[in-house]
Amino acid sequence: MPFSFSFLPKEIQFFDLFDRQAEMLVATARCFKKVISNASLDDEHLKEMRDLEHDTDEVTHEIMERLNRTFITPFDREDIHTLANEVDNIVDILYTTTKRMKVYKLNKANPELIQFADVIKESIEYLARALNLLRDHKKNNKRIQDCCIEVNRLENAGDQLRDMVIGRLFDSTKNTLMVIKWKEIFESAETALDICEDVANIIGTILVKQG
Amino acid sequence: MPFSFSFLPKEIQFFDLFDRQAEMLVATARCFKKVISNASLDDEHLKEMRDLEHDTDEVTHEIMERLNRTFITPFDREDIHTLANEVDNIVDILYTTTKRMKVYKLNKANPELIQFADVIKESIEYLARALNLLRDHKKNNKRIQDCCIEVNRLENAGDQLRDMVIGRLFDSTKNTLMVIKWKEIFESAETALDICEDVANIIGTILVKQG
Amino acid sequence: MPFSFSFLPKEIQFFDLFDRQAEMLVATARCFKKVISNASLDDEHLKEMRDLEHDTDEVTHEIMERLNRTFITPFDREDIHTLANEVDNIVDILYTTTKRMKVYKLNKANPELIQFADVIKESIEYLARALNLLRDHKKNNKRIQDCCIEVNRLENAGDQLRDMVIGRLFDSTKNTLMVIKWKEIFESAETALDICEDVANIIGTILVKQG
């Protein structure tokens, strides 16, 4: 079999799978925003989150399988492995956050958590664009880097938001159990932004190695 | 020195070490179950956990040393490294959980934690079997995969158990400090099951690469 | 270009960067000790921590860039990657700890946290020495190993200190919110020692592979 035949299609398959992960990411961020804004923790809305988590798992699994069976990969094998895993982790933590809110019966919309959901959605949209642009990474190098810079900026914003919100929580909440519950939810939201930054950093590493 | 001479014995030594790790795992799960069931947090029982943690450390260390000195390994070097480390982490977290219970003076048997200890023991028994079967992984492929599926199933069961138990804890416990203490212990138990699942996933990756 | 020309200078550059990381580490440990001892959580002192965190980030980034562009590295590429990242994580967690204390308004010197700051400073000084000695690791093998043993010993000491301090916290503190706050700070301090141990273990692995 000629080299170019087996080589090119496989490269393309990886980029198709990155696109699918990007799509899942954006859908999850939107669903998360909706659940948080309406504090709609009934089974129907959580099921939508669970389905997204499940579908992302399948795409991630497909990337891993392909990685283990493919000899030539578009980027370093381990970078693809870490990238796919961390994208999956973003979806996981957003789903886990909504599940935990249900366990805690936190079914009243919280304006500060809505703020977090907005920052997360914005960060994820930049990441998804960066993932889409990977297909032509040579041509898109500058645009991908710009996306990654935005993700880093939003992680810093999230850091400050968390500090402010947690400080306020301890100062103003009378009910200690509520402090424990909300502290966990806010930290979980901020961790989602940390993982977005991790993904941006892996993409940055991939660009440097390809450069 | 003929190739087969240096090759085969070294492969076998790795499998012997996996068997020893599997043995330590099962012994730790049993000891954990015993400590939890009797809420026996006196020094004698914690010493048994500490000895198991220490012995597992030594086996893990031996795997790492051998890995660093051996040129040809039965599976990918990094997969063995991660596998051995994560098995060690299971033993670590079970020991840490009992130590923390002593610090918190939680010396009354808790039926929900006993349930966790049972799920952990079952998951670890499947993992140990999978580790033993690695020696003839070609022949045992299907049986190893079945073990890994069980470990994944038990992680899901643990997830649901944790959500139920933590929900109940916040709803019914009057003493906030007790909520903080037990929440940490239950989450720690569930993390043990997460790490079991990680080990099962690494074993799955190894099978795919060997397939 | 002759091989030795491109090879030696690049090796040396890595060791120069390890020295810079070691320097940042020690400066951070000293600043942390100062902030903790005086409970000086005003902006000026936190700025010093933030600057150190920022400078360490830059050195770490330089190591990563060089790693991605350099073909021949003094040790395994991944070991250098993990080493630099974990050193960076030590600085990060010390900075985060002081930031969190500010959020929590914990501005009264705590003798037990000062004890932690001392253990952390001692551990970091051994690590820094080990990093400096890496340049002549063949000659310094025994001395580097001795440093790593000390770091491991101090991690054990930190473990016991944390258990004692947290036990006392739950037994004696009337204010539950204060228990939550201090528990987090003490665990964060102990995690710093865990990461020091991780760094010592990576250095140990590097020595074995070079041996």
ipTM: 0.88
Are B177 and C163 in contact (CB < 8 Å)? no
pLDDT of residue A10: 67
Which residues make Cβ contacts (< 8 Å) with residue A112, sequence separation at least 6? A161, A165, A168, A186
pLDDT tens-digit series, residues B193-203:
999 999 999 99
Are residues C25 and C110 in contact, defined by beta-carbon separation less than 8 angstroms?
Answer: no
- How far apart CA A20 and CA A14 sit, in angstroms, is 10
pLDDT band at A2 (very low <50, low <70, confident <90, very high): very low
pLDDT of residue A9: 67
pLDDT band at B5 (very low <50, low <70, confident <90, very high): very low
Are C170 and B104 in contact (CB < 8 Å)? yes
Are A176 and C181 in contact (CB < 8 Å)? no
Residue ranges covered by each domain of chain A? 3-210
State chain C's mean pLDDT as an integer.
92
Across the range A131-142, mean pLDDT stands at 96
- How far apart CA B141 and CA B148 sit, in angstroms, is 11
Whether the pLDDT of residue C1 is over 70: the answer is no
pLDDT tens-digit series, residues B114-124:
999 999 999 99
Across the range B20-32, mean pLDDT stands at 98
Instruction: Name the percent of chain B lying above pLDDT 70.
Output: 95
- How far apart CA A13 and CA A94 sit, in angstroms, is 27
Chain B residue numbers with beta carbons less than 8 Å from the beta carbon of C75 are none
pLDDT of residue A45: 87
Chain B residue numbers with beta carbons less than 8 Å from the beta carbon of A185 are none
DSSP A177: H
Phi and psi (nearest 5°) for B70? Answer: -100, 135
- With 0-12 / 13-18 / 19 or more C-beta atoms within 10 angstroms meaning exposed / middle / buried, residue A156 is exposed
Q: Structure pTM?
A: 0.92
> Taking CA atoms, what residue in A is nearest to C104?
A167
Are C176 and B181 in contact (CB < 8 Å)? no
Are C177 and A180 in contact (CB < 8 Å)? no
Instruction: Tell me whether A169 touches chain C (CB under 8 Å).
Output: no
Chain A residue numbers with beta carbons less than 8 Å from the beta carbon of C65 are 208
Which residues make Cβ contacts (< 8 Å) with residue C150, sequence separation at least 6? C122, C123, C126
Across the range A81-97, mean pLDDT stands at 97
- How far apart CA C131 and CA C199 sit, in angstroms, is 10
Are B180 and A180 in contact (CB < 8 Å)? yes
State chain B's mean pLDDT as an integer.
92
CA distances from B71 to A156, B77, B78, B151 (A): 44, 9, 13, 32
Does CATH number 3.40.50.11540 belong to domain C3-210? no
- How far apart CA C27 and CA C16 sit, in angstroms, is 17
Assigned token pair, C71: 């073909």
Are residues C169 and C182 in contact, defined by beta-carbon separation less than 8 angstroms?
Answer: yes
Assigned token pair, C142: 């025994």
- How far apart CA C174 and CA C81 sit, in angstroms, is 45
Size of interface A-C (CB pairs under 8 A): 24
Instruction: Tell me whether B178 touches chain C (CB under 8 Å).
Output: no
pLDDT of residue C68: 83
Please give the residue that has the higher pLDDT: either C167 or A44: C167
Whether the pLDDT of residue A165 is over 90: the answer is yes
Give the helix ranges, DSSP H, for chain C: 3-38, 43-69, 77-103, 111-133, 137-172, 176-210
pLDDT of residue C4: 39
Whether the pLDDT of residue B1 is over 50: the answer is no
